[in-house]
Structure 1
Amino acid sequence: MTRSKTGRDYFVRTNAAAMVFVVLGLGFFTITVFKPEIIPYGSLGPFGNFVKNLVDNYPQALYKGYILALALHVGEGFLTQSICSSKGITDGTTRLKWFMQTLFFGIFSLYHLLVYNPKKTK
């Protein structure tokens, strides 16, 4: 985990397992919404049956869920800027790192920023 200790440029990289989980999950969601015919439903067991049912019977709900997921990631990205300000993270490059990481990996990144408790100077 890459970590900078000082207040103005505090940054923690998201766990690699969480990164893989999000990339695969959003990738599968994208394919499910926009190219469902290429998914091998039979090879996915009960999960494949469930996804096939969603694709066949609820395509609009899948599309709306996909747009909601993207909107949440964008919203979380912008939220990091406010949180960075409140926690004294002022370095522009560091704030950009938080924004981009949270944009791509969502709550798995935002969590590290939320639990950061900067030391108060007297």
Structure 2
Amino acid sequence: MSLSVSTTISPPVSPLVTLNETTVRYPENPDQTEKDISEVMEKLNENLQLPPDYFVRTPFFWRWLVPYGLFLTMMSWLAPDLIPTYSPLGALASYLGTAANRLMGIIFTVAVLLHVTESGMALHLALYTYNLNREVVFQWWLQTLHYGIFSLWYLLKPRVQDIKKAS
């Protein structure tokens, strides 16, 4: 004796759905659904207005890890013999600084350039795209300069719960 259960999901009666002045047509082909959803989300994000005091702190984990990684990379490039080997990843950083000093210099330089570029993006987004307060713009710029993409992500893709917390 075997039981089989099948469920089918049918679209609503109307093939059109209107969401914030964006019309979505249910596709005949289910493979198009993901593409259509991403298009709707892009249109919604284009019209997104953030409160003028919108600011989200980077989680504590990244506030610890990113500066520590930058410090270890810099020290392994400039003075690998001064890194204590008992510290977390200290032996690895000391070894890489001794064996591949030029590579560590390149990695550190690229990381710093990325952080500066990301902070410029945060400045542009906060000031011109979202029209945030000057103090908040400075906070976004400084936080993104320190923590990079882990801070910038909250400006690139604001989440609804973060917007509610800020307002």
Q: TM-score, structure 2 length as denominator?
A: 0.58
Shift in CA distance, 34/73, structure 1 to aligned 2, threshold 3 Å: same
1:13 aligns with 2:57: yes
| SS of alignment partner, residue 12 of structure 1 | coil
1:75 aligns with 2:120: no
Shift in CA distance, 81/31, structure 1 to aligned 2, threshold 3 Å: same
1:29 aligns with 2:63: no
Q: Structure 1: which 5+ runs fail to align?
A: 1-5
Kept after mapping to 2: 8 A contact 1:10/1:94: yes
Q: Cα RMSD between the aligned structures?
A: 2.5
Aligned pair count?
111
1:38 aligns with 2:82: yes
Shift in CA distance, 99/45, structure 1 to aligned 2, threshold 3 Å: closer
Q: Structure 2: which 5+ runs fail to align?
A: 1-49
1:36-72 CA-partner distances (Å, limit 9, x unpaired): 112244x479973x54442233211111111110110
- What is the distance in 2 between the residues matched to 1:98 and 1:71? 17
1:106 aligns with 2:148: yes
Q: Partner letter of residue 61 of structure 2?
A: A
Whichever structure has more helix as a proportion of its residues is 1
Q: Which runs of 4+ in 1 moved over 3 A?
A: 43-47, 50-53
Shift in CA distance, 36/47, structure 1 to aligned 2, threshold 3 Å: closer
| SS of alignment partner, residue 142 of structure 2 | helix
1:54-106 CA-partner distances (Å, limit 9, x unpaired): 223321111111111011001000001222222x2331111110000000011
Shift in CA distance, 113/14, structure 1 to aligned 2, threshold 3 Å: same
Q: Please say which structure displays the higher CA radius of gyration.
A: 2
- What is the distance in 1 between the residues matched to 2:140 and 2:89? 37
| SS of alignment partner, residue 11 of structure 1 | coil
Q: TM-score, structure 1 length as denominator?
A: 0.77
